[in-house]
Amino acid sequence: MSDTHLPSVEMLSRSCGARVQMKPQSRSLFSLLFLLLLPHPSRLYSFKKCSTDLKDQSRFVCSSKELPNIPTDIPKSATGINLQMNKIQSIRRTDLIGFYKLEILNLDLNKISHIEDGAFSDLSALTQLTLALNNLRNLNDNMFTGLSNLSDLIINDNQIISISKFAFKPLHKLHTLYLSFNYLVSSDIANILMHCPSLEILYLAYNNLTSFEYYNLPFPSLKTLNLVGNNITVFEPDKSPFLFMNLTELDLDKNPLRRLSVHSDVFPHLNSLGLASMMEPVIEWDVSNKDFFRGLSKLELLDTSFDIRTYQLLFKLVDSVDNLNLDRLGRLIDKVLLDFACSIPSLQKLSLGWNNISILNDSLLQSCANLTKLDLGYNSMTDLTEASLQMLTRLITLNLDSNHFSRIPVAIRNMTTLKHLSFDQNKITELQCFDFLNLISLRKLSLANNAILKISSCVFRSLPNLEILNVANNRLLQLTFDGTLTKLRSLLVGGNNIGLLLKGTFHNMSSLTYLNFFKDNSAVTALEAGAFEGLYNLTELDLSTNSFSGDTFAGLPKLERLFLSLHNPVAGSRSSSGSLYLPSLQNLEVKVNSRACLPQQQDVLKGLGNLTTFKSTNFFCETPHQNTFIYSPHLEELSIANSEEFDALPELFHPLKQLKTLHLTYTNIKSVDFLSNANLTRLEVLSLTNNEIKLVNETIFKALPSLKHVDLSGNPFACNCSNDGFIDWVIRNKQVQVVNAFQYRCSSPPSEEGNFLLDFNVQSCWEFTGFLCFISSSALVLVTLLSSFTYHFLRWQLVYGYYLLLAFLYDSKKRRQGCPYIYDAFVSYNVHDEDWVYRELLPELERVQGWRLCLHHCDFQPGKPIMENITDAIYSSRKTLCVISRRYLQSEWCSQEIQMASYRLFDEQKDVLILLFLEEISSNQLSPFYRMRKLVKSRTYLSWTQARNHRGLFWEKVQRALECDNEPADSHNPLTANVY
């Protein structure tokens, strides 16, 4: 048989397939090991102590978490970090490495006492740094290295006792610096100012500055200097090395200032000077030219106790001041002092609060005719004399809050220039028709927090231009307006005892845009249908009531925001006379302040087609109808709180295609599975806090492709293997931030109660499954290796076995059929021995001896499979003559032929196989062909090499072998031989 009979393409494809399939089977084992050993990726969204800002995910909030250090899991791409109210004691060089985009850093209210040099060196983009309320004591040379773009630095309320000479050198763009409430001395100020050319605002309140002296070095960019609360004993700008050409504010509050010396124009732009709470009774004003304060417009002298001469001298120096604060001077307030104050020609705003004034007499403000604003709040006045304000013909704003007035003083009548009037927190019980006589310019009137029982319809007749009216927190039982407030834009009436709001109450008040009837513990008992008629331009309404109907809000076509607080509602209190029809309403908030439940109707939001925000508390005390939201398809924010029987059904949320924010708080939700089919594809924020959720199937989040924030705080999580997928998802997902996830606690099982959910060892859940996967993967790998080994080394034996089986079946069939032999012998040879066969064998056996031989080149049936041709040839011949050479042994198909012939030998138990060796073949060459070797060892064979001198005898032996059914007779004949 020829070597050209190669394996079929199908067999080759199987061979290659076996090798390829080995990789995925092996990879399954490595995949399992990789899963078990894989380290946690960067926690981009699941932070242990922080959360991102809902509006800006690049800003992180880590406040009030008792953090001892700056968290390491904050991404380097952060633009803002809030770390206030923690327990951080130091800032290390490595804490802020790589935060090149950070713009705002807040470290308020920590315990920071040490900052390593260069700790901020990577914060080149930082513009605001807050270190207030810490324990810093020294500002060193390299502390602020890297802050080249810092504009605001807040370090007030520390214990700073010194600033090194070059501490502020890197801060070239600093324009606001807060250093109040420290222990700084004068030399520290020099170390600040010499390196901050852009400084505009400087606060040094409550320090320990004993002197503040200027010399000749200009700093033209400084606009604000705040020295509030310092112990400055000498203030001499003309002798200081600093010249603040652009200074606009100078605050020296709470300092023992004794002398202020100015002999050069160092304050050309100063507009605010604060000298509040001075500790010294006398200040020497050494000012050579009052023009040095020509730009000063505001002077703060509250809580000072200078002698009258000091006040007088000061008032003469500041003749450009228009705003003067003389609060808390107490007994010093008298006509003499006010005459000096009001002698300032530009004075327009005067504050005299907290001065224990009981009665304002006719003469106290006699010299203050130019005032436009007067604040007399927080005194103890019970009345004003009739002519006490008569001289204030330019007054625009009058504040009389927190006094003891029981009625509106007659003194305010006929003040035609007055625009703002406030009587908050007095004891007024009644308003008379002439109380506001001729206040034709009044725009804002505030009467809140009094004891007013009734407002007659005539009270506001003299206020034709009133725009804002505040009568909140009084004792009003009803509202009556006479229709004269045609320009009123804002009305605050909450906190009264109004029992019934009648139809027509707001007649002729079409300019009203904001109406407030809200108070926590009281409500309008009833609303008559059409109570809000006439408010065509109302856009905001805050209402506390006990009941409402569909007709209640009729006539509000432009209402955009409605806050509805329901007190003690009774069943059936909401009439079915019609749904709310508010076509412009965008924001609706409903709060029920009782345990009483209103009957839920599917059309509760009918008529609110443009609603975008709906918030409710205690409103849905039972499961809403699944069609509740079909009338508000544009809803973007939905909040439902305090619902004991709320059952979240997927169908309820189907109409909400635009929903972005969903809050379900205190609703006793036990599962989040409803989200899988809720179709909330645009949902970004999900809050399910304080519910009864124990288990979370993490696959539900696949149904929320736009989700960014999830808050599940306050739920009784089960720390067992049912939550292992959720725990792994919280840590590994990079799309959704699970807010405060590392603070979630376990409530079950008892062994895990109180522990953190994310501390649960999820790998323990994978041990048994992992073991099974390991065994399965190992078995697959072994089967694959065994199959590969078998294919590589034993594939032909398997093929032989298959065809031997076919041969057995074929032989049995032939024997049953009794088919005669067609050939005397089938000659099996290699194509390379074809010349010998045609030259020696064929002439001798067919022509001389007359045998009929079967040769594959002429007797095999074309188109028939090779193995079938071989089988037919062997079983159609009495014997098989194998012409064996080295080439023959190297041929797979020749080897197959002799294997099948040998099977026939053992099957029929007679001599059907003749072995004819053309060459001497060593045992080493025969050893790979164990079946051939076995045959040679057990049988006599013919050797052509030994018959060259006895060819006649050789062919005779061949003839004998073909004639008889036994072996050649003489095993010792030189023409035959046995191996081994």
pLDDT in tens, 925-953: 665 554 555 555 556 678 888 776 778 88
Cβ count near 746 (within 10 Å)? 22
Helix 335-342 to helix 308-317 angle (10° resolution) is: 10
Model confidence at 969, in pLDDT bands (50, 70, 90)? very low
The average confidence (pLDDT) of the chain is: 82
What pLDDT, on the 0 to 100 scale, is given for residue 941? Answer: 73
Note whether residue 382 is domain-resident.
Answer: no
What pLDDT, on the 0 to 100 scale, is given for residue 695? Answer: 93
Closest CA to 125 of 149, 96, 153, 144: 149
Note whether residue 963 is domain-resident.
Answer: yes
Angle at 634 between CA 705 and CA 655, to 5 degrees: 65
What pLDDT, on the 0 to 100 scale, is given for residue 965? Answer: 60
Percent of the chain with pLDDT over 70: 80
Q: Could you report the per-residue pLDDT of 617-643, keeping only the tens digit for each?
A: 888 877 888 888 999 999 999 999 988
Both structure tokens of 775: 């065994």
Note whether residue 846 is domain-resident.
Answer: yes
Q: Could you report the per-residue pLDDT of 53-102, keeping only the tens digit for each?
A: 878 888 999 998 899 999 988 999 999 999 999 999 999 999 999 999 99
Torsion, Cα 757 759 761 765, to 10 degrees, reads 20
What pLDDT, on the 0 to 100 scale, is given for residue 980? Answer: 28
Over the range 423-461, which residues count as b (16 or more CB within 10 Å of their CB) and which as e? bbbbebebbeeebbbebbbbbbbbbbbbebeebeeebbb
- Identify which has the larger pLDDT, 412 or 778: 412
Of 168-177, 251-260, 554-563, minimum mean pLDDT range? 251-260
Model confidence at 901, in pLDDT bands (50, 70, 90)? low
What pLDDT, on the 0 to 100 scale, is given for residue 691? Answer: 93
Of 184-193, 507-516, 935-944, minimum mean pLDDT range? 935-944
Q: Could you report the per-residue pLDDT of 133-156, keeping only the tens digit for each?
A: 999 999 999 999 999 999 999 999
Note whether residue 911 is domain-resident.
Answer: yes
- Category of 555 on φ-ψ map: left (φ > 0), alpha (ψ -120 to 50) or beta: left
Q: Could you report the per-residue pLDDT of 430-467, keeping only the tens digit for each?
A: 999 999 999 999 999 999 999 999 888 889 999 999 99
Model confidence at 891, in pLDDT bands (50, 70, 90)? confident
The span from the CA of 444 to the CA of 128, in Å, is 38
Q: Could you report the per-residue pLDDT of 815-836, keeping only the tens digit for each?
A: 666 667 788 888 888 888 888 8
Q: Could you report the per-residue pLDDT of 487-504, keeping only the tens digit for each?
A: 999 999 998 988 888 888
Q: Could you report the per-residue pLDDT of 744-786, keeping only the tens digit for each?
A: 999 998 988 898 888 888 877 765 555 667 778 888 888 888 8
Helices (H), 221-362: 308-317, 335-342
Reduced 3-state DSSP string for 798-853:
HHHHHHHHHHHHHHHHHHHHCCCCCEEEEEECCHHHHHHHHHHHHHHHHHHCCCCE
**In a 3-state reduction of DSSP, which class is residue 84?**
coil
Whole-structure pTM value: 0.71
Note whether residue 767 is domain-resident.
Answer: no
Count the domains in the chain: 1
Note whether residue 803 is domain-resident.
Answer: yes
Q: Is 489 exposed, middle or buried (0-12, 13-18, 19+ CB in 10 A)?
A: middle
Residue 835's CATH number: 3.40.50.10140
Note whether residue 926 is domain-resident.
Answer: yes
**pLDDT higher than 70, residue 239:** no
Of 216-230, 300-314, 343-357, 562-576, minimum mean pLDDT range? 216-230
- Identify which has the larger pLDDT, 962 or 416: 416
Domain with 925 in it: 794-977
Q: Could you report the per-residue pLDDT of 609-624, keeping only the tens digit for each?
A: 999 999 998 888 778 8
CB contact set of 58 (below 8 Å; sequence gap of 6+): 52, 77, 78, 79, 80, 101
What pLDDT, on the 0 to 100 scale, is given for residue 229? Answer: 56
Note whether residue 656 is domain-resident.
Answer: no
